[in-house]
Chain A
């Protein structure tokens, strides 16, 4: 896969996540770190009651079980579902704690009513928007998925689905499908001002009217640990953005505090010596900061 292409456009998930792709999830430390961060954040949004009890959770699109391991670490019991056999093979080799099922989310979840305390899903649900087989209707698949998800959760339970929507209409489509199934809640967007660090979480609640959790990184700053990108990201910023970002505090990138009155007087003097005309005179206002009301 070349960088920037969406895997959703390459092939159906059961074919795309072949042995080679599955192996990456155990050898590529960057992928693993990002998965772990996303799971951590999803668990935070899931906001399970902190009563020290083991909960039983659902991991949709569990893949190689990276997200499941985070659940085990938190002391919960989980059942994972995925459509890719190769990914589940990897999960089995890693001896994850949860039970695994080979299953297509678009067929609806094969679960009894009111059995799970919560559900998470990391980077999986956007696959439902694809119509990769003849006769596959994304809207119908989404509807079945959300309806069965709604019914298998206990009252007051939550589902947090981290998604990579292709565009805003896809995010909208998923959200409205979830609302039609009876969920309350909506989309939480972390780091909305950053192209690379932006993360979408669909936070769905059953029967609760709790307030929506606040997204992270609203003020536009994206710290390296949190944004899910690697440290070289700064280098890849365009020159224009870098300038804009640095100039905000009132100086250039080399002199973030501004250059000061002495420097301005020196430069004006140099210009006069070179014979330039129309150099403003030196007054008590030279090099002063403007008042904020300006």
Chain B
């Protein structure tokens, strides 16, 4: 699972108000190569929760994203490269996602998070 997907996911257990962001407990993180597309990064940026992405990248072993992003930075190639790396090239292979409100763990196995709910949770 890429951090792009992590940034979109929110816990959907019935009754949870603040299911975002999932806390990542990594066991195995892999790095893949993805095509660098600055246009896409600029397009997707307004939709991301930047703080959640920074924290997630740090737990996955890629700290160093700035806390604030300005308009000029979105034109800066160095920044966009590190943004691209965090968003699309870090993959959580094994580990788990933890709901910030209830502490429920969703296991991630072979890169696929298991988000199925138990009967009393939906």
Contact = CB atoms under 8 A, between A and B. Distances in A.
Contacts of B40: 53-54, 77
Given A102-B113, A102-B116, A110-B19, A54 B8 contact: no
Given A54-B39, A103-B116, A115 B12 contact: no
Given A108-B12, A115-B8, A99 B43 contact: no
B112 A53 contact: no
A93 to B, nearest CB: 10
Contact of A92 (B12, B20, B44, B110): B110
Nearest to A115: B8
Contact of B112 (A77, A88, A135): A88
Contacts of B113: 101-102
A107 interface: yes
A11 interface: no
Contacts of A54: 37, 39-40, 43
Interface of A: 52-54, 56, 77, 79, 83, 88, 92, 99-104, 106-112, 114-116, 133, 135, 148, 152, 154
25 contacts: A54-B39, A54-B40, A56-B4, A56-B44, A77-B4, A77-B40, A92-B111, A99-B111, A100-B111, A101-B5, A102-B112, A103-B115, A104-B117, A106-B122, A107-B12, A107-B122, A110-B115, A111-B8, A111-B9, A111-B10, A112-B7, A115-B47, A116-B8, A133-B119, A148-B12
